[in-house]
Amino acid sequence: MLAKIVCLGAVLAVAYASCDKDTMRPIEWTGGNYEWPCGATKKIYVSSGKYLPKNVIATRGQIYHDDLIVALPRFKPGVPATLAKVSLKQKGCEATLTPFPCWSSQDETSPDGFINIVDLFLDNQDILWCLDIGVTNTLESPIRRAPPKVIAISMKTGKLLKTLNLSGLVAQASRLQYVVVEYSQDGRPFCYISDAATRSILVFDIAGNKGYRVVLPKAVVAGANRRDVLYIALIRKQCRNHYLVFTYLSSGRMFQIRTDYLRSGSAAGRVQDLGPKPDKLVILGNDLGAALFFRYEGHPEVYRWDSNTPFCKDNFQVVYKSPNCLLATHAMADLRRQRIRVLESNFPDFIQNTVGCGAVQQVNLMSGSCN
């Protein structure tokens, strides 16, 4: 399976021979149009203020077969489900959000429910790993509902497999943002989570049910006016080593560390400085191989960088440009169709409360339309 994933980056660089037109066209929706159990349930949510469509926005996603699984962070009140799926074969102008795996799992008042999922990672065993920070209304009046956790869900069955309690790894100031999972050579799964506030990567040995914090060197925040967003991405190079590439939004440089060093529990002397960034950049994702996708802050162009080459402008290739007023928030592999898809929205308008009836959200193919 690993060989298949490593080769995906090369496969994605060639033309796609056949097309399922139902799943290759753009998917669009505005705000949060949920599939409700019944009309009465929707009325209860609306009347109680638990459903405010304009406060719903998808920021991260993963593709599984014919579905897009999306994280719907609870930035503001009125988000009834923080994890949902959208059919890539949906009909009509507006896509429908179906709570995943079910409505009962979405209760933000229950410590065992999905409180606020901010990032997703689908591994090569068809397990979806969801980072739940445990705090709602993060853009208005934050409410701590439960300790942060990572939830593992089988995409084959929709059943909850495991919950990683992160309470012993975080500080009061912690700000968890991104999650990736990999399997070591002996098949043991490990979870890596960025903690922007403490300049750390949390490492969780899933089989051993234990974790630890790896503090990054001070050079990682040099030149940054604040510890804003700590982006991470897992890449696999031709040398067969796995690396975690990371950077703060406000910092001027890009870094990487081999994941076997992370698993050893120490980053001392192991972090590599890849070089200066031309501007503030947003890491969007990768192709499950060596390619990293990113955009510059506030700009619609999406770039591809082959991490087997030096990190410099000469090796950055524009591969996509978002439509007017939209910006990409995630680039994700569609394994079944051997394509990369881009999740995009007018997220800055959402933050500034200028979206009207709701944020515009789209899922587009990175490599153009089918012939």
For the whole model, what pTM was predicted? 0.93
List Cα–Cα distances, 19 to 23, 24, 47, 336, in angstroms.
8, 7, 44, 11
Q: Concatenate the DSSP letters of all residues of 282-312 into one string.
A: EEEEE-SSSEEEEEETT--EEEEEETTS-SS
Q: For 143-153, what is each residue's pLDDT tens digit?
A: 999 999 999 99
- Mean pLDDT of all residues in 322-331: 96
pLDDT of residue 19: 57
Instruction: With cut-offs at 50, 70 and 90, classify the pLDDT of residue 176.
Output: very high
| E-strand stretches of 138-221 | 143-144, 149-154, 160-165, 176-183, 189-195, 200-205, 210-215
Q: Please report which helix (H) or strand (E) contains residue 348, including its range.
A: helix 347-351
- Mean pLDDT of all residues in 150-167: 97
pLDDT of residue 18: 47
- Mean pLDDT of all residues in 64-93: 94
Q: How far is CA 268 from the centre of its chain?
A: 27
